Copies of this chain bind each other. A is one copy, B any other.
Amino acid sequence: MVTLAEVAQHAGVSASTVSYVLSGKRSISTTTRQRVEQSIRELGYHPNAGARALASSRSNIIALMIPLRTDIYVPVMMEIAIAVATTARTHGYDVLLLTGEEGPDAVRRVTGSGLADAMILMDVELDDERLPLLRSTDRPSVLIGLPADTSGLTCVDLDFAATGALCVEHLAMLGHRDIAVIGEAPAVYERHTGFAERTLDGLRYRAKELGLRLLHRPCEGGYDAMAVTLARVLDERPGTTGFVVQNESAVEPLLALLRQQGRAVPEDVSVVAICPDQVAVQASVRLTSVAIPAQEMGRHAVERLVAKLEGQVSDEVVLIAPELTVRASTGPAPTVS
Contact = CB atoms under 8 A, between A and B. Distances in A.
Interface in A38-76: 44-54, 57, 59, 61, 64, 66, 68, 70, 74-75
A94 interface: yes
A320 interface: no
B253 A284 contact: yes
B82 A46 contact: no
A94 B98 CA distance: 8
A96 interface: yes
A113 B47 contact: yes
Interface stretch (A101-109, A145-153, A180-188, A329-337): A101-109
Contacts of A48: 54, 113-114
Contact of A78 (B77, B101, B283): B77
A49 B50 CA distance: 8
Nearest to A283: B223
A211 interface: no
A86 B75 CA distance: 19
Contact of A70 (B1, B78, B108, B256): B78
Nearest to A90: B101
A45 to B, nearest CB: 8
A181 to B, nearest CB: 20
A74 to B, nearest CB: 5
A85 B101 CA distance: 10
Contact of A97 (B50, B52, B85): B85
Interface string A158-188: 0000000000000000000000000000000
B82 A70 contact: yes
A276 to B, nearest CB: 10
Given A102-B89, A281-B222, A282-B222, A50 B53 contact: yes
Nearest to A53: B50
Contacts of A222: 281-282
A96 B99 contact: no
Contacts of A96: 61, 94-97
Nearest to A67: B82
A15 B54 CA distance: 18
Contact of A52 (B50, B52, B78): B50
Contacts of A70: 75, 78-79, 82, 278
B82 A68 contact: yes
- Looking at A50, A68, A79, A102, the one whose CB has the most chain B CB atoms below 10 A away is A50
A49 B59 contact: yes
Nearest to A252: B252
Contact of A44 (B45, B89, B112, B278): B112
A115 interface: yes
16 contacts: A48-B54, A49-B50, A50-B59, A50-B114, A53-B53, A53-B54, A70-B75, A74-B74, A77-B78, A94-B98, A96-B96, A223-B283, A252-B284, A253-B282, A253-B284, A256-B284
Given A50-B57, A89-B99, A223-B282, 4 more contacts: A53-B53, A66-B82, A70-B75, A74-B75
In the A-B complex, the 5 residue pairs with the closest CB atoms:
A50-B53, A46-B112, A222-B282, A50-B54, A49-B115
